[in-house]
Structure 1
Amino acid sequence: MSETFQTDSRQMLGRLRAVLAEDAGGQTRLDQITRLIAEEMRTEVCSIYLFRDEDTLELCATEGLNPDAVHKTRMKLGEGLVGRVARTGRALNTDNAPATRGFRYMAETGEEAYSSFMGVPVQRLGEKLGVLVVQSREARHFSEEEVYAVEVVAMVLAEMAELGAFVGEGAAMSARHQQSVLIRGATAQEGAARGHVWLHEPRVVVTNLIAEDPDQEIARLNAAVEELRVGVDRMLSFARSGDKEQLEVLEAYRMFANSKGWMRRMEEDIQLGLSAEAAVEKEQSTARARMSQVSDAYLRHRLDDLDDLSNRLLRILTGQGNEAGVDMPTDPILIARNIGPAELLDYGRRLRGIVLEEGAVGSHATIVARALAIPLVIHARRITTEALNGDPILVDGDQGVVHLRPGDTIAAAFRDKMAMQAKAQERYASIRDKPAKTLCGRTISLTMNAGLMADLPSLEGSGAEGVGLFRTELQFLIRSHMPKRAELSELYARVMDAAGGRRVVFRTLDIGSDKVLAYMKPTDEPNPAMGWRAVRVGLDKPGVMRMQLQALIRGAAGRPLSVMFPFVAQRAEYDAARAEMDKALARERILGHPLPETLELGAMLETPSLAFAPDSFYENVDFLSIGGNDLKQFFFAADRENERVRRRYDTLNVSFLTFLRSIVARCEASGTPLGFCGEDAGRPVEAACLAAIGLRNLSMRPASIGPVKSILRRTDLRELNRIIEEATARGDQSVRGAVMEYLRGKF
């Protein structure tokens, strides 16, 4: 990179800083910037296009094009060369714009006279803000150094937009982090919460973007990088006794921290006139942009490593984002791109709600959030870039909607909704100790799902009759190493102690698919939900299954024990798992440990194949529990992690209810106890229909027991079954409409 070019670039950034320092409105600043860049780049045209919404770009300032087109010319993402730059997030440089693929002529701008075109994205940490364009009459192909210089300016523009430099007269941009924002995501845990934002990874705001002394900034950068490297080496020294995979991750981390290419690029940015912080963030934005283009999981993880290192380096340089001296609000709503189960458990029940930019319906964090009964919204796009610590926020987990910095009208409506929910909870508390006895005299057993000791106090408060599903995998997921048998047996004993004699059904380790242990080598499977998971892993790794079964026997300490095996697809798998229990019992007997007073061994019916197992299976299994979440996704061939299809298929679909009836009939014929556990068991309308077709045990999250019990106590299951049968006979696709009409008439 030539010294002349570096000098010119610093001169342009110096002039840009002077413009930004003036006391002027947003539109005036943008107009001055386009004029400045056109002069410095020796082009006739410079234009700035900014996003008005996620899909629309607007010409907000120009030097050289028709000024009447400002705030009038708009284009969709991907439309024209400008839209192409915005969509791809990459620079476009051509000396013949009309002949370039994607060119769109906009007559109102008067740009037909200009042949050359160079556009670069204005983006910050992966968030697309707009496009910066220069054009000239001559057929000019801009040099790599010139493209690089404009990219540096675009980065400064993105940072200044973040700081609100273009707000004011002319309304070039709305004030960021001040206006109300509605973000639509997806429901992962129902419930409503009101509070203030607590960022899991606090944002670092760079205020000094342009520096006059490159040598001083490079010295600051080198000192910060050295501190970063020392920190990474310290992490490695602590992890030396850890597992191989953890060491490999940290070694990759150290490799990036010592990357000469990374340092060289940041030093080049500084030589052009950026501060050390701005140089780090420019390279971080580039890495984030690459992430959106990379499909290979390994490469994405490596880019994630670089992104995380950049955040650490920015915190060292700015002193921002350190938790010391920053108090969590009394009503925190946690905001994060993603979060692991152990980190979420560290926060515990202090959280009012959780909003994740990524996340998944069946992720570890979702499982923990459900266990803690904390409303959770996932797939909330842009939440980490929109939210600031302390912002007021409303989380509607029922609708999968987030209101950030809500207006008075929305806040009042939300308060009313929460007040109504509180009144409903009072009503549910009044029937807590009463049975779920229907108007026709049927009593439905309502039990709760659990996975943590923190769940067990809900047994008393919710009115649950026991634990219909205790997820044992959470104790494996929140650790960085395999738990010991003694640790597990102690936990299982405490669970049974807390249950106070109520039945607890322990599900053996259900890992695989979306639940991958940090210390277990991941398997590359094209469809993990239908791959090596749950009982399949247990039977292929009998040592782990045997250890867990022994821990369960020891935890029971002579008390009744109920165990069920997950994801059984055929009788042979259940028989093999039962044989492992027999071996564990024989070993415990030899060791002189007390055996369970009674032992029930069941299976989760989550695959359609098990519904058609031989009669002998139904006669031999001690009990069955329908795993509604998995069974529904396999029945409809609709991945429950896929938002496009998972809501397309209704639990009250006639085909699915008919299928469930056939399972009920087989269990009644063989005398096999049958239950249903999953999200649908905790939805009052669905729960009533499940009871109407013959299911007598429903297991759900503790907060759902009150609403489900309330509707069951006011329902005649015989009448409801008749409504379902009539809708089926009519050929309705779903019975929901008929059922809702019937219930509205009753309540």
Structure 2
Amino acid sequence: MITLSGKSVFGGIAIGKIAFYKRNEIQIKRSRVEDTEQEVKRFEAAKEKAVSQLQELHDKALDDVGETNAMIFEIHQMMLEDLDYVESIVNIITSQEVNAEYAVATTADNFAAMFAAMDDAYMQGRAADVKDVSERLIQVLSDQNSASMEMNEPVIIAADDLVPSETVQLDKEKVLSFITMYGSANSHTAILARTMNIPAVIGIGEDLKKEYDGKEAIVDGMEGVIYIDPDKETFTRMREKQKEDQEQKTLLEQLKGKENITKSGQKVMVYANIGNLSDVGAVLKNDAGGIGLFRSEFLYLESETFPTEEEQFKVYKQVAENMAGKRVIIRTLDIGADKQVDYFGLDKEENPALGYRAIRICLTRQEIFKTQLRALYRASAYGQIAIMFPMIISVDEVKQIKKIIEEVKQELREEGIDFRENVELGVMIETPAAVMVSRDLAKEVDFFSVGTNDLTQYTLAIDRQNQKLEPFYDSHHPAVLSMIRMAAENAHAEGKWIGICGELGADLSLTETFLEMGIDELSVAPGMILPLRKRIREAD
């Protein structure tokens, strides 16, 4: 028996044969061309055909994996039309007098290397996208069809990594699991695995060898382990674990549509935390009552420059529409500390967690803040959007925010743009200062949402990014729980509701404690919705 280890991106147990993904390998040769103008035309014709193919893949993906996951093919179409990408290819053809295939391959390598060198995990993931669209172009130029893997039985798909155009063409009914040598938690393989609810392990490295093709294997997506040619004892143990997992999932599925209500009749709102549009499908699939935290800073982290009002508006609008009237709480950008964006031009700080971040940036760089607020208020006309503000420490900050909001609303009125006047406004309770003045804050806003990650680090004076301090970090510390209780009491004293959107919200060992405090809402990762509902319904 051979045991391999990687990173789990979705739990569960899969048992079956390994099938390595097979691609059409095209050898790219550099050849000189006499008529560069004609070669550019050949490239442009291939580009148009590739765009058309991507539209067909988008339409197929709509049926297979839903709108949010199909959007990647729209992004790929935009990549093919990207001016920098196209100009690079044309320039190589004309200046070096070479064939289009070579120019596309060279540009793909250059752009992929550029993305891979970036610090942001999302941008690193785009290296695979540019390779994907470029390989499609080369296939069209070489007059070859793209690979479509034949599967005669359900299998465990193995690969170095998989790109969207490959995963979307797989027969989903015959995919037991994904295992890859490379990739990240943000890769499309990982996203698809979460959407399909199948085990996936990535980052196995060179130990995942092609000689394992066709061998019997077990994927333990919970532990991130693969057993190849498992012995009898391992097989029996894993089969039992698979049975227990399936029984648990079946029981949880029965909770869809049920109320989040304790045996004693206490109701709690159970919402989901998301980072971008691609997560909305998981929110709906897991039957969340709404979105308790949309981390809008990911729009900034995923962009090379400040996202425009229109770009933000489209995202917020689509989330609101997809949630069909359910509450969508969008947190204004929380840039700074551990989330750095080069184009913000932020200075290096000795203590970034205690520095220039979140609402402090918004209030001192109001042009950025107003752009986001305009997009949010415009999108409010399309659903039940609520807005909350991070890193609040004073009532004066909230009053300043409300003044800016009134300016934005007046601008929209004068421009004749629709928006909802009564958008709910809330603040994040994630500093001890906010807790201590929470009674006064509650008079100014509609709700509180406790960010337990930051509240814990600021209460305990422990940098949560510092691994050396891990033995001292205690999210269950009595002081932290007392802070949450105090904020809850002050919110309720002013007739306002309070939720928790930090990691503690998904800690099932604290669910009854939060219910006893009177917490009105718990917002967790989509996959934790049903386990949390089960815990609530069992509570007395």
TM-score normalised over the length of structure 2:
0.65
Query: Which amino acid is 1:449 matched to?
Result: N
Following superposition, the deviation at residue 585 of structure 1 comes to: 0.9
Following superposition, the deviation at residue 560 of structure 1 comes to: 4.4
Within the candidate set 226, 229, 237, 1:403 is matched to 226
Q: Work out the CA distance in 2 between the residues paired with 1:649 and 1:497.
A: 40
Q: Work out the CA distance in 2 between the residues paired with 1:554 and 1:300.
A: 32
Question: Is the CA contact 2:178–2:193 (under 8 Å) kept in the aligned structure 1?
Answer: no
Q: How does 1:654-673 map to 2 (within 5 A)?
A: 654-673=478-497
Question: Is the CA contact 1:566–1:603 (under 8 Å) kept in the aligned structure 2?
Answer: yes
Residue 679 (1) aligns with residue 503 (2): yes
Cα gap change, 1:612 to 1:394, in 2 (>3 Å): farther
Following superposition, the deviation at residue 589 of structure 1 comes to: 0.9
Q: Work out the CA distance in 1 between the residues paired with 2:337 and 2:193.
A: 19
Query: Which amino acid is 2:320 matched to?
Result: M
Cα gap change, 1:706 to 1:560, in 2 (>3 Å): closer
Cα gap change, 1:241 to 1:507, in 2 (>3 Å): same
Q: How does 1:287-306 map to 2 (within 5 A)?
A: none
Deviations 1:271-330 (A, max 9, x none): xxxxxxxxxxxxxxxxxxxxxxxxxxx9999xxx9xx9xxx9xxxxxxxxxx96584987
Which residue is 2:390 aligned to? 566
Structure 2: runs of 5 or more not aligned: 33-42, 44-79, 89-116, 132-144
Cα gap change, 1:432 to 1:600, in 2 (>3 Å): same
Residue 388 (1) aligns with residue 209 (2): yes
Within the candidate set 689, 695, 698, 2:519 is matched to 695
Cα gap change, 1:453 to 1:658, in 2 (>3 Å): same
RMSD of Structure 2 on Structure 1 (CA): 5.2
Question: Is the CA contact 2:385–2:424 (under 8 Å) kept in the aligned structure 1?
Answer: yes
Q: Secondary structure at the match of 1:620?
A: coil
Which residue is 1:584 aligned to? 408
Cα gap change, 1:239 to 1:496, in 2 (>3 Å): closer
Residue 608 (1) aligns with residue 429 (2): no
Cα gap change, 1:668 to 1:479, in 2 (>3 Å): same
Within the candidate set 166, 183, 192, 2:12 is matched to 192
Q: Work out the CA distance in 1 between the residues paired with 2:362 and 2:392.
A: 11
Q: Work out the CA distance in 1 between the residues paired with 2:295 and 2:491.
A: 24
Q: Work out the CA distance in 2 between the residues paired with 1:452 and 1:375.
A: 22
Q: Secondary structure at the match of 1:443?
A: coil
Following superposition, the deviation at residue 682 of structure 1 comes to: 2.5
TM-score normalised over the length of structure 1:
0.49
Which residue is 1:151 aligned to? none
Cα gap change, 1:300 to 1:679, in 2 (>3 Å): closer
Following superposition, the deviation at residue 625 of structure 1 comes to: 0.6
Within the candidate set 447, 452, 460, 2:271 is matched to 447
Q: Work out the CA distance in 1 between the residues paired with 2:433 and 2:280.
A: 34
Following superposition, the deviation at residue 587 of structure 1 comes to: 0.8
Q: Work out the CA distance in 2 between the residues paired with 1:629 and 1:541.
A: 26
Which residue is 1:488 aligned to? 312
Following superposition, the deviation at residue 591 of structure 1 comes to: 0.5
Query: Which amino acid is 2:207 matched to?
Result: E
Query: Which amino acid is 1:191 matched to?
Result: G
Q: Secondary structure at the match of 1:611?
A: helix
Q: How does 1:186-335 map to 2 (within 5 A)?
A: 191-192=11-12, 194=14, 325=147, 327=149
Residue 180 (1) aligns with residue 2 (2): yes
Question: Is the CA contact 1:369–1:376 (under 8 Å) kept in the aligned structure 2?
Answer: no
Cα gap change, 1:549 to 1:395, in 2 (>3 Å): farther
Cα gap change, 1:357 to 1:460, in 2 (>3 Å): closer
Question: Is the CA contact 1:462–1:703 (under 8 Å) kept in the aligned structure 2?
Answer: yes
Q: Secondary structure at the match of 1:432?
A: coil
Question: Is the CA contact 1:197–1:335 (under 8 Å) kept in the aligned structure 2?
Answer: no
Following superposition, the deviation at residue 463 of structure 1 comes to: 2.9
Residue 413 (1) aligns with residue 237 (2): yes
Cα gap change, 1:461 to 1:475, in 2 (>3 Å): same
Q: Work out the CA distance in 2 between the residues paired with 1:671 and 1:657.
A: 21
Q: Secondary structure at the match of 1:456?
A: helix
Which residue is 2:109 aligned to? none
Following superposition, the deviation at residue 442 of structure 1 comes to: 0.9
Q: Work out the CA distance in 1 between the residues paired with 2:469 and 2:274.
A: 28
Within the candidate set 325, 332, 350, 1:501 is matched to 325
Question: Is the CA contact 1:684–1:708 (under 8 Å) kept in the aligned structure 2?
Answer: yes
Q: How does 1:478-557 map to 2 (within 5 A)?
A: 478-517=302-341, 524-557=348-381
Deviations 1:428-464 (A, max 9, x none): 2223222121122211111122344444344554332
Q: Work out the CA distance in 2 between the residues paired with 1:453 and 1:684.
A: 27
Following superposition, the deviation at residue 707 of structure 1 comes to: 1.4
Following superposition, the deviation at residue 620 of structure 1 comes to: 1.0
Q: Work out the CA distance in 1 between the residues paired with 2:150 and 2:351.
A: 40
Q: How does 1:150-165 map to 2 (within 5 A)?
A: none
Q: Secondary structure at the match of 1:674?
A: strand
Q: Work out the CA distance in 2 between the residues paired with 1:649 and 1:345.
A: 43
Q: Work out the CA distance in 1 between the residues paired with 2:239 and 2:299.
A: 37
Cα gap change, 1:393 to 1:586, in 2 (>3 Å): farther
Q: Work out the CA distance in 2 between the residues paired with 1:714 and 1:190.
A: 26
Deviations 1:660-696 (A, max 9, x none): 2222222222333110113332343333332233212
Which residue is 1:84 aligned to? none
Following superposition, the deviation at residue 544 of structure 1 comes to: 2.4
Query: Which amino acid is 2:11 matched to?
Result: G
Residue 435 (1) aligns with residue 255 (2): no
Which residue is 1:708 aligned to? 532
Q: Secondary structure at the match of 2:374?
A: helix
Within the candidate set 476, 479, 490, 1:652 is matched to 476
Q: Work out the CA distance in 2 between the residues paired with 1:346 and 1:620.
A: 51
Cα gap change, 1:371 to 1:430, in 2 (>3 Å): closer
Query: Which amino acid is 2:370 matched to?
Result: R
State percent identity of aligned pairs. Answer: 26
Q: Work out the CA distance in 2 between the residues paired with 1:613 and 1:328.
A: 63
Q: Work out the CA distance in 2 between the residues paired with 1:367 and 1:522.
A: 32
Cα gap change, 1:431 to 1:358, in 2 (>3 Å): closer
Cα gap change, 1:429 to 1:674, in 2 (>3 Å): same
Following superposition, the deviation at residue 550 of structure 1 comes to: 1.0
Q: Secondary structure at the match of 2:244?
A: helix
Cα gap change, 1:366 to 1:685, in 2 (>3 Å): farther
Following superposition, the deviation at residue 354 of structure 1 comes to: 7.2
Which residue is 1:626 aligned to? 450
Query: Which amino acid is 2:366 matched to?
Result: P
Following superposition, the deviation at residue 629 of structure 1 comes to: 2.8
Which residue is 1:218 aligned to? none
Cα gap change, 1:421 to 1:572, in 2 (>3 Å): farther
Q: Work out the CA distance in 1 between the residues paired with 2:219 and 2:393.
A: 38
Cα gap change, 1:401 to 1:523, in 2 (>3 Å): farther
Q: Work out the CA distance in 2 between the residues paired with 1:432 and 1:490.
A: 30
Q: Work out the CA distance in 2 between the residues paired with 1:690 and 1:345.
A: 44
